[in-house]
Structure 1
């Protein structure tokens, strides 16, 4: 007799949860080989059907605005359910392909890829198959015959029942070649739609993968840069003693006057072949020392071009954070010339690379000291934060302070965390934080919005907590930008041993004998001068300018 199942979606989901929990505690070692194989097959079929159910649920979450308080339904899945942006995007793609949407008249609309929807519901095609097939279909030129596009969906769906998602890419290439064999259907609109550039996350070695699709115009410009700046011998970082920098043209041009003149005897003035010969000879020698591959030379050429942009202030007047290199780092790491700094764009930089960054940009440094009061407390009757205040905010929050948000600080706005400016909030650095545009706008007093709070004591002192408006949930801080937060106080904390030794000497004691809590970190500039920003708080004659941290950094920059 078949089991009687409830009709409530919530009760059905509860049964699935209970069944999986029971299956997790089952004694699989006592099962036969046939039973284990059958269990795997049944469970996999259930997961594939679950992809279809998840697509239907995503449509409901979107249509009912259950994601309010987040930028999009995808953000709700990514942050609220902690799926992350990759899995959230995959579910969104699957839902767009096989989900049943509702028209404005209230009538259900058929799925965009109906054959795929049927196959997923039967448990023979997975959501990953759908994602890869959608990638293939998105490459079809928009001028292709709709009947042929529909036929491609059917062919790919049938193939997915017997092949892996990876196989769909190879089959897709054959279909694309059939639909547009000579490339005549592909036009500028298709190329414009597919253009992209993706800078991947940093790996354990701090290296990042760069991928994407560039338009023919961008490729032509990039080839000019790589061809001129990436020639053998040029911009070789391994050639420290006689490194030749800049474009190839500076090495091959004769040192001539831009307006040479011809004397009556026929000789040309304004020409100095001695300099040109010396340049040519130096380039020949540099080529002999160059052992880089072509790909490595292209990488170094791109770096040299970026150095040129930063060195010539080609990003505009350096009055905003994104146009400058801003680094925050722990004082102990800096003093022992080890560890990693974090830039305003979220990149982790080894201490040694600070030397090269300081040589080609306008560098700022935020040094964390756990027991030092902030000296950047500019309370003014203005709505917008000053540049110095934004630098101090970056020191406390390396990116958007909303928990789960990965936007770097260069894409944030100064948010009044304690009290909104419209309600009497002050523009003090201790009352503000960094928040990306969408999360800054998500703060408010209405249901579904967020409220913020600046911690004044405890382990999160100086940081900003977030929670849903009108709830009594505890405020949460964002640990996304600096995972090392989870290591503090553990055996994996590189500074724990130093902190234990200096615990008795490194604490600041207040007048009543209590240890002062940590607050906003001090901001220091790599190349300090007397007129870089607003006046400092306190008597200039009593300010200690002989910080050992600045001294160590000065040696690094001068090296």
Structure 2
């Protein structure tokens, strides 16, 4: 800006100015700058990015406080960031964590509260540290035992922030580990409340190979129980899926033939990690096979799988479970052969009643199965919630005369089910009767004439052109054999 020109006070005008500057920077060439000028530009650019992170945090808080996102049909600011601004789950999570770590929120009575990490928040506004630094600082602060006094905690946060001004986020992590060791060298201040607060277990999304990583932190009590269970179920020779003669169950079960176990041990070439995995799979089989989930009156209590004719014909498709997991067709048939699950094979029609009219408000199990075959998950725009965590949503509301018929029902997660209605931030729904999406559940902002939106997330890959291979020779007989094995296992 020209010397002496004053920046506008309006945030909207400032964002417009910043966008114009960014657009111009994207067009200009840096070839005219000297090496020293390039270094200054790089440092200024990082400072600007960090300051913009602080401004973004304030913007998100304002969006949340004013419920502005409801005008776009979203019930939470996180959903608006993820789907409305198309940031995705990961980036939304990063910005949300930054908001809680450095944002200034208001109390119930409207008073402005200090940030959770005030020193880090100030440094971010100055452009002295990045959001990566803030994440490491916040992670260290979360590990400080609750019994450490507030003054010491504040001093620790200040020290970490000063370190962050000169080191990388990885350097802050290292310094933080030393700080934690200094605050509680013998672990005496850490108590059960701290352990419960930091406990957790997460199953990561499936990767391109359909494998899932586990991560978490378990309490000493769970660790003790797990050690005992794995000692019995993951012993060498036990529960080996590669050995048809391997004993199943726990090693100390009654009636286990010692000679059979010794022979299985000799054949067992698995690593400890592989034996632990196979033990977990065997325990899951045991729970599912012994009514460990209770009476299966709803789909979440069962393992239910659907697969399309196209995927079976290609012998290369991927089946989908009601919980959102993907299983290669070959493993699906193996699963059915061992009868370790309740499998549903969906044909063109079913003999069970799918139309209940006004006689019952809640969907039957048969209707839920039919909805799973059609919807495969939440039908809300951009929602990735699997079918097992959805509810049967009346597209024409029950209180408005809507019938409990399968052509008036759609799968919707709790948030989207509650989002349907009249007024700001609400949606209206309908089972579409024409066009390429006939039969699918459509959503649009309540009272608008916008185009109906359907959710494509749960149906990606169902097009014939997206199958990895075309139908092989003899596909017809292969399909018949697969269906026979699946039906025999039901």
Please indicate, yes or no, whether the TM-score normalized by the shorter chain is above 0.5: yes
Question: Any unmatched runs of 5+ in structure 1?
Answer: 256-275, 499-545
Does the CA contact (< 8 Å) of 1:465 and 1:476 recur in 2? yes
Residue 469 of structure 1: how far off its partner (Å): 1.0
Q: CA deviation at 1:311?
A: 1.1
| Partner in structure 2 of residue 55 of structure 1 | 57
Please name the residue that 1:389 is paired with: 367
The residue correspondences of 1:324-473 to structure 2 (distance < 5 A) are 324-358=302-336, 359-367=338-346, 378-380=354-356, 381-417=359-395, 419-473=396-450
Choose the corresponding residue for 1:158, options 154, 157, 162: 162
Q: CA deviation at 1:90?
A: 2.1
Deviation at 1:34, TM superposition (A): 4.0
Q: For each residue in 1:144-177, what CA deviation from the matched residue of structure 2 results, as whole angstroms up to 9, or x when unmatched?
A: 1111101110111011112222222222221111
Q: For residue 384 of structure 2, give the secondary structure of its aligned residue in structure 1.
A: coil
1:324–1:361 contact (8 Å) kept in structure 2? no
Contact map agreement 1:307 1:360 (CA 8 A) in 2: no
Is the Cα contact below 8 Å between 1:402 and 1:435 reproduced in 2? Answer: yes
Structure 2 residue runs without a partner (length 5+): none
The secondary structure found in structure 2 opposite 1:435 is strand
Give, in whole Å, the separation in 1 of the partners of 2:360 and 2:421: 21
Do structure 1's residue 247 and structure 2's residue 223 form an aligned pair? no
**8 Å Cα contact 2:300-2:323 kept in structure 1:** yes
- Alignment partners' CA distance in 2, 1:191 and 1:72: 30
Confirm or deny: 8 A CA contact 1:366 1:392 kept in the other structure.
no
Residue 238 of structure 1 deviates from its aligned partner by 1.3
Provide the aligned length of Structure 1 versus Structure 2: 479
Distance change >3 Å, CA 134–CA 64, structure 1 → 2: same
Conserved in 2, the CA contact under 8 Å of 1:310 and 1:360?
no
Per the alignment, residue 66 of structure 2 pairs with 64
Say if 1:346 and 1:399, in contact at 8 Å, map to a contact too: yes
Deviation at 1:475, TM superposition (A): 1.6
What secondary structure is seen at the aligned counterpart in 2 of 1:87? Answer: helix
Report the equivalent of 1:285.
263
1-side partners of 2:196 and 2:383: how far apart?
A: 29
Residue-by-residue CA offset, 1:242-289 (whole Å, 9 max, x unaligned): 122111012xx5x5xxxxxxxxxxxxxxxxxxxx6xx11111111111
Partners of 2:446 and 2:230 in 1: CA distance = 52
As a proportion of its length, which structure holds more helix?
2
Task: For 2:259 and 2:131, locate their aligned partners in 1 and report how far apart those are by CA, in whole Å.
Answer: 61
Q: TM-score scaled by structure 2?
A: 0.91
> 1:136 Cα deviation (Å)?
1.3
Classify the secondary structure of the residue corresponding to 1:175: helix
Cα contact 2:314–2:467 (8 A) shared by 1: no
Distance in 1 of aligned mates of 2:287 and 2:148: 42
Structure 2: how far apart are the matches of 1:313 and 1:473? 47
Q: Distance in 1 between matches of 2:400 and 2:153?
A: 56
> How far, CA to CA, are the matches of 1:373 and 1:327 in structure 2?
17
Given the alignment of the two structures, is residue 124 of structure 1 paired with residue 123 of structure 2, yes or no?
no
Farther off after superposition, 144-153 or 5-14? 5-14
Q: Offset at 1:74?
A: 2.3
Assess if the C-alpha contact under 8 Å between 2:393 and 2:411 holds in 1.
yes
Judging changes above 3 Å, is the alpha-carbon distance between structure 1 residues 280 and 373 closer, same or farther for their aligned structure 2 residues?
A: closer
Q: Aligned match of 1:196 in 194, 200, 218?
A: 200
CA distance in 2, matches of 1:17, 1:436: 37
In 2, the alpha carbon distance for the partners of 1:428 and 1:217 equals 48
- 8 Å CA contact retained: 2:319, 2:329: yes
Mapped partners of 1:347, 1:166: distance in 2:
34
Contact 1:402 1:478 in 2 (8 A): yes
TM-fit CA distance, 1:556: 6.1
Aligned counterpart, 2:484? 554
Larger radius of gyration: 1
